[in-house]
Structure 1
Amino acid sequence: MSKRLIPILILLVSFTGFAQRGGEIQEKIKAQKIAFITDKLELTSEEAQQFWPIYNAFEAKVEKIKSEDLRPLKKEMRQGDVSDKRAGEILERLTKAETEMHNARLELIEDLKTVISAKKIIRLKVAEDQFNQKLLDRLKEFRERRQNRRN
């Protein structure tokens, strides 16, 4: 999952005001992403059966890194009032988490090579970027509509 998607999901969830509704939105986004990627990659049913468990495991791994490592670190970084020593520790942990996410992406690519063509793996990256851009656009539209209702 792209680095931009998680903050967007969090923002969308926070707009709802209700955890249950937020969970519904996350599930709806996930279903839309699955449909979008399946379509863009033109996955056969056989490819999809092998592709999605690999991709979902990758996304779970990345989400775990983000939730356990990156989000707490970024929250601490935003506070800004850290010592040089603590800043060094944060930077080291941040670099480690980013490396883990990169390695997870490399592992995904290697695993997918046994399931789909290199061309489809490239189209996966394009599809992820396109989906994330659509999600950002929808968030922007939502904010604009919300702002217009306030005015």
Structure 2
Amino acid sequence: MKIKNILPILLFLTSFSFYAQNEKTNEKLEKIKAYKVSFLTADLELTSAEAEKFWPIYNTYDDKQYKLRHEKMKTYLRKLNDDNINSISEKEAAILLSQIENTNRELYLLKKNYISSLQKILPAKKILKLKKSENDFNRKLLKQYRDKAGKN
């Protein structure tokens, strides 16, 4: 996956993590999740049999990758702010780098297992369409966010 595709998504999602305790943010995240389900359902044109098997796999994957990205990466990002990064030792930096690599490895294995599970229930073309649909959704969501931010 290209960094230019990942970076906007990470920036968008981490912006939500800073306010995770706020009920309004939780409501917004639920609305976004519902919007995403609606968007993907319409875009993928899943049969009822496919949808019945797809959504539990997708939701499990989505929850696990969210936790990995937001719980672990949030910890790393806190340690990487300008004040901390200049004051940590080389050994601490190496440990942090190793932790980031391990999380990236976990994300890779999670994605690999997810795709393997999807291949058992969906044709390859629909899996590729899912990837494209997720990217389209993220772009659309970021555009809405930017448009709304520009109006305020």
> How would you bin the TM-score normalised by the shorter chain?
0.7 to 0.9
Q: 1:8 aligns with which of 12, 33, 42?
A: 12
The residue aligned with 1:63 is 66
Answer whether contact 2:14 2:70 (CA < 8 A) is retained.
no
Q: Which moved more, 1:4-13 or 1:81-90?
A: 4-13
Answer whether contact 2:40 2:133 (CA < 8 A) is retained.
yes
The residue aligned with 2:85 is 80
Shift of 1:33: 0.4
Inter-CA distance 70–11: structure 2 relative to 1 (3 Å threshold): closer
Name the TM-score, length of structure 1 as normaliser.
0.85
Shift of 1:67: 2.9
The residue aligned with 2:36 is 33
Q: Which moved more, 1:130-139 or 1:60-69?
A: 60-69
The residue aligned with 1:105 is 111
For 1:87 and 1:67, locate their aligned partners in 2 and report how far apart those are by CA, in whole Å. 20
Secondary structure at the counterpart of residue 80 of structure 1: helix
The residue aligned with 2:145 is 139
Inter-CA distance 55–122: structure 2 relative to 1 (3 Å threshold): same
Q: What do residues 68-102 of structure 1 show as CA deviations (whole Å, max 9, x unaligned)?
A: 32110122012323211111011100011011111
1:91 aligns with 2:94: no
Q: 2:134 aligns with which of 110, 125, 128?
A: 128
Secondary structure at the counterpart of residue 80 of structure 2: helix
The residue aligned with 1:149 is none
Structure 1 runs, 4 residues or longer, greater than 3 Å off: 2-7, 9-15
Q: Which moved more, 1:5-14 or 1:35-44?
A: 5-14
Question: Percent of counterpart pairs with the same letter?
Answer: 31
Unaligned runs of 5+ in 2: none
Shift of 1:142: 1.5
Answer whether contact 2:50 2:121 (CA < 8 A) is retained.
yes
The residue aligned with 1:23 is 26
Number of corresponding residues: 144
Inter-CA distance 13–28: structure 2 relative to 1 (3 Å threshold): farther
Q: Which moved more, 1:70-79 or 1:91-100?
A: 70-79
For 1:39 and 1:13, locate their aligned partners in 2 and report how far apart those are by CA, in whole Å. 28
Equivalent AA in structure 2 for residue 80 of structure 1? I
